[in-house]
């Protein structure tokens, strides 16, 4: 596969930015940018400890806000839905005029989001859906991600016994991903060519829980598993650890997403079939720009590039979707060329010349 650049809805980077009202505010948050004059944007992280948020998303969000003359403040819910609801109030009390919310639980956060919007503080639902028609939803095409994961695994294993390791049940993305997978494998399941021997949600997308699930499946099925659709890289790592203990790593193809450094290395090594790269730098940039634009005009439909999206709950919400890219051994050079990783990290432990990206 030829490497190609991540495509972003053009208008996401063409948002009209202007300084918005509101005074600067000192932040008592976990991470704070220097005051930039203009709008203060508060970011509520569901769990800042995950590699991706600190490494990619946050720097891009901060840069976009500061480039538009705004101020960044944030706090971390540490995987607690209750804490996150309080965190939104705290951000507003610190002077936030717009919020970017990475929801721990899209349903549980709705009252706090609704209260913020009613108080005149617009909300960007970041990467995870919040069923509020007045919020702006910015994410990658998660159904498309699930489809890309399944396409690569199905290409390798068109018939066999599948395990599906889904993410957190409270996160709508887990179901979006599963819908995309169904588009690829559904007919084969109906025809009896694919048997799904296990399909489970995983609390908090926890790699350790995914590993435990996979260990239980392998025991119950006598190691007779042919493919694993793991919905993200963290869980894929847990699944592969369980497979490795049984001598099956690299023999049973496993999917993932997020292009985490460890996952990219596993793809190079051959223990993970693919990861789906969602360039979080583009996502963060789009969200930061949108939040600043919403400070001037809280009408989400007025954001350039936003289009209506009908949610599973039947709400029509203004949304911006970015396009992901599947990464296999054949196009690993794409992430190196883009500066997402370096060759030394990617190729650690890989036999020189066994993969084009690791000469």
Contact between residue 125 and residue 135 where contact means Cβ atoms under 8 Å apart: yes
Whether 23 shows a pLDDT value over 90: the answer reads no
Whether 12 shows a pLDDT value over 70: the answer reads no
Query: Does 302 lie in the same domain as 205?
Result: no
Query: Does 126 lie in the same domain as 261?
Result: no
Q: HSE of 136 in the Cβ direction (CA atoms, 13 Å)? A: 32
Return the biggest CA–CA distance within the chain.
Answer: 63
Structure confidence at residue 304 (pLDDT): 85
Whether 8 shows a pLDDT value over 90: the answer reads no
Query: Does 171 lie in the same domain as 55?
Result: no
Structure confidence at residue 35 (pLDDT): 35
Structure confidence at residue 358 (pLDDT): 97
Q: CA-CA distance, 80 to 188, in Å (whole number)?
A: 39
Whether 37 shows a pLDDT value over 70: the answer reads no
The mean pLDDT value for 77-96 works out to: 97
Q: Is residue 351 part of a domain?
A: no
Query: Does 171 lie in the same domain as 135?
Result: no
The mean pLDDT value for 311-338 works out to: 97
Higher pLDDT, 35 or 186: 186
Q: What is the pTM of this model?
A: 0.82
Query: Does 200 lie in the same domain as 119?
Result: no
Which long-range contacts does 213-219 make (Cβ < 8 Å, 24+ apart)? 213/165, 214/163, 214/165, 214/238, 214/239, 214/242, 214/243, 215/242, 215/245, 217/163, 218/242, 218/243, 218/246, 218/248
The mean pLDDT value for 302-312 works out to: 94
Q: Is residue 68 part of a domain?
A: yes
Query: Does 252 lie in the same domain as 160?
Result: yes
Query: Does 330 lie in the same domain as 237?
Result: yes
Q: Is residue 1 part of a domain?
A: no
Structure confidence at residue 290 (pLDDT): 97
Query: Does 266 lie in the same domain as 283?
Result: no
pLDDT-derived band at 24 (thresholds 50, 70, 90) equals: very low
Q: Is residue 359 part of a domain?
A: no
Query: Does 147 lie in the same domain as 136?
Result: no
Q: Is residue 212 part of a domain?
A: yes
The mean pLDDT value for 269-282 works out to: 97
Query: Does 242 lie in the same domain as 341?
Result: yes
Q: Quote the percentage of the chain above a pLDDT of 90.
A: 88
Whether 121 shows a pLDDT value over 50: the answer reads yes
Q: Quote the percentage of the chain above a pLDDT of 70.
A: 90
Tracing tokens 């991470």 back to the chain, one arrives at 31
Whether 345 shows a pLDDT value over 70: the answer reads yes
Whether 57 shows a pLDDT value over 50: the answer reads yes
- Find, among 129, 127, 214, the residue nearest to 165 by Cα: 214
Digit-coded pLDDT (tens) for 262-275: 999 999 999 999 99
Q: Is residue 135 part of a domain?
A: yes
Whether 32 shows a pLDDT value over 80: the answer reads no
Digit-coded pLDDT (tens) for 147-180: 999 999 999 999 999 999 999 999 999 999 999 9
The mean pLDDT value for 28-51 works out to: 70
Full domain range(s) for residue 38: 10-140+278-323
The mean pLDDT value for 179-193 works out to: 98
Q: Is residue 172 part of a domain?
A: yes
Query: Does 84 lie in the same domain as 129?
Result: yes
Domain with residue 342: its CATH number is 3.40.50.2300
Whether 351 shows a pLDDT value over 70: the answer reads yes
25: tokens are: 């505010």
Look at the chain and report how many structural domains it folds into. 2
Query: Does 14 lie in the same domain as 159?
Result: no
Question: Rounded to the nearest 10 degrees, what angle do helices 58-67 and 280-296 cross at?
Answer: 40
Q: Is residue 2 part of a domain?
A: no
């Amino acid at each position: 596969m030829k490497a190609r650049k991540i495509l972003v809805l053009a208008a996401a980077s063409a948002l009209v930015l202007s300084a918005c009202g509101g005074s600067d505010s000192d932040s008592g948050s976990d991470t704070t940018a220097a005051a930039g004059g203009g709008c203060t944007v508060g970011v509520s992280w569901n769990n800042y400890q995950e590699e991706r948020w600190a490494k990619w998303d946050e720097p891009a969000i901060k840069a976009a806000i500061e480039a538009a003359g705004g101020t960044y403040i944030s706090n971390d819910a540490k995987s607690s839905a209750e804490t996150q609801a309080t965190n939104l109030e705290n951000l507003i009390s610190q002077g936030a005029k717009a919020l970017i919310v990475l929801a721990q639980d899209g349903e549980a956060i709705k009252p706090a989001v609704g209260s913020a919007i009613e108080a005149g503080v617009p909300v960007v639902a970041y990467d995870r859906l919040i069923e509020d028609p007045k919020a702006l939803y910015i994410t990658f095409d998660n159904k498309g991600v699930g489809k890309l994961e399944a396409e690569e695994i199905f290409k390798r294993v068109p018939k066999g016994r599948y395990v599906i390791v889904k993410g957190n049940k409270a996160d709508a993305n887990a179901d979006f991903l599963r819908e995309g997978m169904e588009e690829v494998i559904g007919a084969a399941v109906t025809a009896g060519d694919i048997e799904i021997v296990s399909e489970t949600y995983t609390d908090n997308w926890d790699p350790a829980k995914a590993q435990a699930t996979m260990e239980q499946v392998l025991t119950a099925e006598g190691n007779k598993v042919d493919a694993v659709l793991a919905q993200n890289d963290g869980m894929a790592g847990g699944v592969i650890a369980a497979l490795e203990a049984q001598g099956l790593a690299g023999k049973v193809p496993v999917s993932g997403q997020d292009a985490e450094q460890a996952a990219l290395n596993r793809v190079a090594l051959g223990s993970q079939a693919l990861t789906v790269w969602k360039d979080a730098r583009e996502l963060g940039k789009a969200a930061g720009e949108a939040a600043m634009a919403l400070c001037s005009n809280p009408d989400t439909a007025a954001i350039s590039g936003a289009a209506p999206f009908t949610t599973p709950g039947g709400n029509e919400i203004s949304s911006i979707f970015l396009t992901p890219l599947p990464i296999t051994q054949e196009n690993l050079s794409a992430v190196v060329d883009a500066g997402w990783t370096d060759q030394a990290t990617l190729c650690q432990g890989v036999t020189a010349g066994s993969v084009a990206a690791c000469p």
